[in-house]
Structure 1
Amino acid sequence: MHGADYNPEQWLKYPEVLKEDIRLMKLAGCNVMAVGIFSWAALEPAEGVFNFEWMDNLLNTFAENGIYAWLATPSGARPAWMSQKYKEVLRVEYNRVRNLHGMRHNHCYTSPVYREKITIMNNKLAERYASHPAVIGWHISNEFGGDCHCDLCQDAFRAWVKNKYKTLDELNHAWWTHFWAHTYTDWSQVESPAPHGENAVHGHNLDWRRFVSEQIIDYINVEVAAVRDANPELPVTTNMHAIDGLDYRKMAKALDVISWDSYPTWHDQKDDSQQAAMVAFYHDLYRSLQKKPFVLMESTPSSTNWQAASKLKQPGMHKLSSLQAVAHGADSVQYFQWRKSRGSSEKLHGAVVDHAGHENTRVFQDVAELGRTLSSLPQLVGTDTPSEAAIIFDWDNRWAVKDSQGPRNCGIGYESTVYAHHRAFWEQGVPVDIIGSEDSFDGYKLIVAPMLYLCSEETGKKLEQFVKKGGTLVTTYWSGIVGETDNAHLGGFPGPLRKTLGIWAEEIDGLFDYERNGLALEGGNRLGLKGTYEARELCELVHLEGAESLGVYTDDFYAGRPALTVNSLGKGRAYHMATRLGADFLLDFYSSLFAETGVYKALDSELPAGVTAQVRTDGEHDYLFVMNFSGQAAELELDGAVYTDLESGEAGVTKLALPVNGIRLLSRPAQA
């Protein structure tokens, strides 16, 4: 799929625009548009008054021209008449102040009125279009997120908490409310966290985030149910974006297809490798939510209008960044937006069609070139990513880490830690899934759990069994600190991981930004690593309880104490990094670990810095993407497999010369 968000309701007074857009879509090789996302006011201009004629005309025109549509439900922004008549649909913020009409995503997910109105709308859309030949799926609302603190949501939260804990004694114990004498004596006293009220009880904060996430998912299920019956075969998706407030792993269960919106800040450094590695992490995350190909629902074909500096894409970057998504499992490349809005906040946001209104622009030609490439690669659709390694990334853990007060209140760096470990896989072309603690660990040779601060007893047992059966586990500082209610594990850290790791973590030292320590590797260690590496920010003081020291601290009063350990358990091993180490160490460490575990690599060749390789496979052929984000030209020798260039058809490729922002697409007999 190749296409964009299309907003024809903005151009109803310009009928010539639709005709021209169809011509340009064909010219750009675009075959699918997401339509109706913010169309509620155009579809229902007054309560109970519906206007579908313009949508009829649009979808009929699409069908006549071989163009398809993700048809959106329009709940992302409600019409003014609804806000005026039904105040309960307006969201109440953290400070308990109700919003005015405006913005988008500014509604209460709990509101019975809002749920009733969107059900009516969705039913009518489904009755009219669920079997339309142009419609290939439902796009449910837009970029869900945010929370509401209105009375309706407070009542729903109390009911959620009561259902979870049953009694006030259990609630008070789980939230540890004896702290500061915040014990609850009646369910009516429970309310959401507030800046001018309760916000220091971490179990309370964590449960509020869980509730908000589940309430949004419940609302999504209402929308899905309203469109599903008319054509159960039509898949549903919604475009994920900001990961802060919503557990996408749980949300994925409500959807048939995962889609997400990607807006990197390309060219914000001398080379794009750091940005590319971070984007690759999110591509891997969204692919892993359902372990199948995903949809890149939004990206910009040029610049945004909201980044600190809205840089233009350099030549080659549009193709490279778009195919990066395909390399990591996308079966689509779509944009925000097709045609620039004439007014309001996104009138200068990048689009395929600029205000000039024709095809004679650099951006349009870049899009058309990509369209030709995508149309030549039908064999990639539905192919798998052969991953034998995984990184654990839990929303509960992320929320708890960010709420915790401890050794580094100036910045604990959870995301940066996860990105750093993932980048070592990216740099060496090792496909990796991003999984949750509740997912199955079967089929993986290597699992990395960076900063698993919130680790339940159940997760600890699963990881112990994974190692005993022959798996390799890697953990870091600040792991096994609390359980599922955000209360500290008793008996010593790392809690449920203590036996698996063979260590006891007594203390953790928070370093100031200017401070440094070091890791000195033990001679003859099993990974063959040598020398000294810089350590910073967090230094955990551990005692060996069966584990072996692979390296020690070089400085401070804990110099000579273990900083890198390994524990043998059953048929497997568990490594622990007690301190934050740099990219140089992580690259060397994982390079040795990849050799030790034999995890699958996309390419058995040495990759230049900033160049990465990813692979998809159909079981008979591997499809290899070699991508250059280094900011300079690069060359590499391929391994001994028989390669064919997918774009040129050249057979027997043995060497690659990659220009700046260059990419090569190759096929070979399947190796997995």
Structure 2
Amino acid sequence: MSSAPCCANFWSHTIYDWGDVVPPVSYGDGISDAKCVVSGLQMDYRRFQNQAQLACYTNERDAIRAYDAATPITTNLMGTFKDLDYFEWAKEMDVVSWGNYPGMDTPPSFTAMCHDLMRGIGGNKPFMLMEQTSNQQNWFPFCKVKRPGEVRKLSWQAVAHGADTVQFFQMKQSIGGCERFHGAVIAHDGTEESRVFKETAALGEELDRIGRRIMGSRIESRVAIMFDWQSYWSLEGCVGPTTGFNYPNEVHRFYRALWRRNVPVDMIASTTPLARLSQYDLAIAPALITVLPGVAETLEAYVADGGTFITGYMAGIHDEHDLVVPGGYPGKLRRLMGVWVEEIDALAPGETIEVHGGTVDAKGEIVASIIHREGAERLATYGGDEFYAGHSALTVNAYGKGKAYFVGTPLDETGMSAFMAPIIKELDLKSLDTPEDVSLSVRYGDGGTRYAFLINNSAADKRLCLSELNGGTELLTGTVINDLIELKPYGVDVIALR
């Protein structure tokens, strides 16, 4: 056996036999539940876990197939769940399904991102909302009940992002076990007179009335965000430069700026082939710390042919063995990005660094990349009194016919929005302005029909006018849209457009 692929000779971990390989657990080389002395071994163990559990699923699937050749087979996934690479799982599933359980403080944009991820792993085909609760979700420290209209809003949000089913767990509330306080359509009182039962029944009537015409319709996007489980494992498995990273939150940091402008997004794998990647005007790879073989070359070809690419902090540092790519950060992406990141400064919790330039007046957090430009143009600089104040914080590099943007620090919401705004405008991504907490998603059906889902994600009344919706028919009420639209708390309009 060779120790070289994962640098196992570090701290005298040279491997001579299979018996020397120990799982990254506390009695071995595990440092915590997420980190290990030899990170390359931990990465391999995560891949092994993923493949072993996937093999269990395929064995069960094949046993069913021996007796049933037609019924679709699936298993309910869990959004941004860390331990399983869902792009690999989706290849073995007839239809993707998942359980959506947002917490009381989960932003609606994060839930939307999870729906888009589940749609994305299945090749942007419609998915199943296999599970959600009709009321409380009992696994949180504080189990808030859903407010009137909230479950309806969450259900239609799933449909708006590509779901073709809306289902619940559980039908009847258990009287024992660890989920006895998990919400159910029929609660412990056993009555159909409860608020939850009546709201669920009303939702079912709506879905039955208009759902069939929406099923099978698709979402069209000119923007792709890479969600990379290898980078997920590597970023959160790093011992340094900070413990402050949560990979899904970094993906959401970029996604939120697009969601707020109602720009549709497809979620793709980092290994997406060039032919498919070229279908997008904008590709974003947040915190792509692991660059798998062939990915850098694909990205270079994509940008050279006119694509726009965004990445930044922590990108390009590791190869597939979780080894640092020699020659300076961002590794194999250095030529494409036109920058050299000499150092990465960690910022303590609550600590921020100023970023100023052009339309951006923001704060960064968690890390600050100390950047030297190698052909890239400066868009913004670091402020404050650190020794690297005045160094580039945001850059853009002209590469062939396209552009590559490097974001040196995790920007706050205002800053990310300001950074993304001119890119959205330049690419003519047709963003639509809606009031705070109001989202708009569109599904495209056959025959030129479009279904616009206007959703109030808040507990306050909202009023708006969108000329793009005028003349459309709100399918739940039959109302023809003419300028003013009023949405009640957690209100939903489903509008058919031709």
Range of TM-score over shorter length: over 0.9
2:9 to 178, 181, 190: 178
Q: Is the 8 A contact 2:22 2:28 kept in 1?
A: no
Match of 2:38 in 1: 201
**Per-residue deviation, 1:304:** 2.1
Distance 2:315 2:157 in 1: 32
Q: Are 2:414 and 1:578 equivalent residues in the alignment?
A: no
Q: Is the 8 A contact 1:645 1:653 kept in 2?
A: no
Distance 1:329 1:428 in 2: 19
1:219 to 37, 41, 56: 56
Superimposed CA distance per residue, residues 383-407 of structure 1 (whole angstroms, 9 cap, x where no aligned partner): 1011111111111110011110122
Residue type at the aligned position of 1:616: R
Tell me: CA distance 1:550–1:624, structure 2 relative to 1, closer, same or farther (3 Å): same
Match of 1:54 in 2: none
2:213 to 362, 379, 386: 379
Matched ranges for 1:625-636 at <5 A = 625-636=453-464
Distance 2:293 2:12 in 1: 28
Distance 1:622 1:514 in 2: 44
SS at match of 1:283: helix
Distance 1:360 1:535 in 2: 51
Superimposed CA distance per residue, residues 272-293 of structure 1 (whole angstroms, 9 cap, x where no aligned partner): xx52111111100001111201
Residue type at the aligned position of 1:194: V
Distance 2:421 2:208 in 1: 36
Matched ranges for 1:170-569 at <5 A = 172-199=3-30, 200-241=37-78, 243-266=81-104, 268=105, 275-290=107-122, 291-377=124-210, 378-409=212-243, 411-440=244-273, 441-522=277-358, 529=359, 532-555=361-384, 556-569=386-399
- Give unpaired runs (5+ residues) of structure 1: 1-167, 269-273, 523-528
Instruction: Name whichever of 634-643 and 300-309 sits farther off.
Output: 634-643
Distance 1:590 1:631 in 2: 28
Distance 2:130 2:481 in 1: 35
Residue type at the aligned position of 1:261: G
Q: Are 2:487 and 1:658 equivalent residues in the alignment?
A: yes
**Per-residue deviation, 1:626:** 0.9
Residue type at the aligned position of 2:458: S
Distance 1:578 1:245 in 2: 28
SS at match of 1:307: coil
Distance 2:356 2:419 in 1: 13
Q: Is the 8 A contact 1:644 1:653 kept in 2?
A: no
Q: Is the 8 A contact 2:110 2:252 kept in 1?
A: yes
Q: Is the 8 A contact 2:444 2:451 kept in 1?
A: yes
Match of 2:442 in 1: 615
Q: Is the 8 A contact 1:627 1:661 kept in 2?
A: yes
Distance 2:151 2:59 in 1: 37
Q: Are 2:435 and 1:637 equivalent residues in the alignment?
A: no
Which structure is larger by alpha-carbon Rg, 1 or 2?
1
Distance 1:246 1:309 in 2: 27
Residue type at the aligned position of 1:623: Y
Residue type at the aligned position of 2:8: T
Instruction: Name whichever of 494-503 and 240-249 sits farther off.
Output: 240-249
**Per-residue deviation, 1:507:** 0.4
**Per-residue deviation, 1:485:** 0.2
Q: Is the 8 A contact 1:519 1:535 kept in 2?
A: yes
**Per-residue deviation, 1:517:** 1.7
Q: Is the 8 A contact 1:643 1:654 kept in 2?
A: no
Distance 1:504 1:568 in 2: 15
Residue type at the aligned position of 2:25: A
Q: Is the 8 A contact 2:271 2:292 kept in 1?
A: no
SS at match of 1:558: coil
SS at match of 2:362: strand
Q: Is the 8 A contact 2:319 2:325 kept in 1?
A: yes
Distance 1:175 1:295 in 2: 39
SS at match of 2:134: coil
Instruction: Name whichever of 183-192 and 609-618 sits farther off.
Output: 183-192
Distance 1:232 1:288 in 2: 26
Distance 1:445 1:589 in 2: 17
SS at match of 2:50: helix
Distance 2:103 2:304 in 1: 42
Q: Are 2:418 and 1:588 equivalent residues in the alignment?
A: yes
Distance 1:609 1:516 in 2: 25
Match of 1:115 in 2: none
Q: Is the 8 A contact 1:388 1:431 kept in 2?
A: yes
Residue type at the aligned position of 2:10: F
SS at match of 1:465: helix
Superimposed CA distance per residue, residues 616-661 of structure 1 (whole angstroms, 9 cap, x where no aligned partner): 1114111011111133211111124531111111224322111221
| Count of residue pairs the alignment pairs up | 483
Distance 1:492 1:457 in 2: 18
Normalising to structure 2: TM-score of the pair?
0.94
**Per-residue deviation, 1:426:** 1.3
Residue type at the aligned position of 2:427: T
**Per-residue deviation, 1:428:** 1.0
Distance 1:542 1:225 in 2: 52
Normalising to structure 1: TM-score of the pair?
0.70
Distance 1:436 1:389 in 2: 13
Q: Is the 8 A contact 2:291 2:319 kept in 1?
A: yes
Measured on the aligned residues, the alpha-carbon RMSD in Å equals 1.4
Superimposed CA distance per residue, residues 181-236 of structure 1 (whole angstroms, 9 cap, x where no aligned partner): 11111223223222111231011000000011011111111101111132322110
Q: Is the 8 A contact 1:386 1:600 kept in 2?
A: no
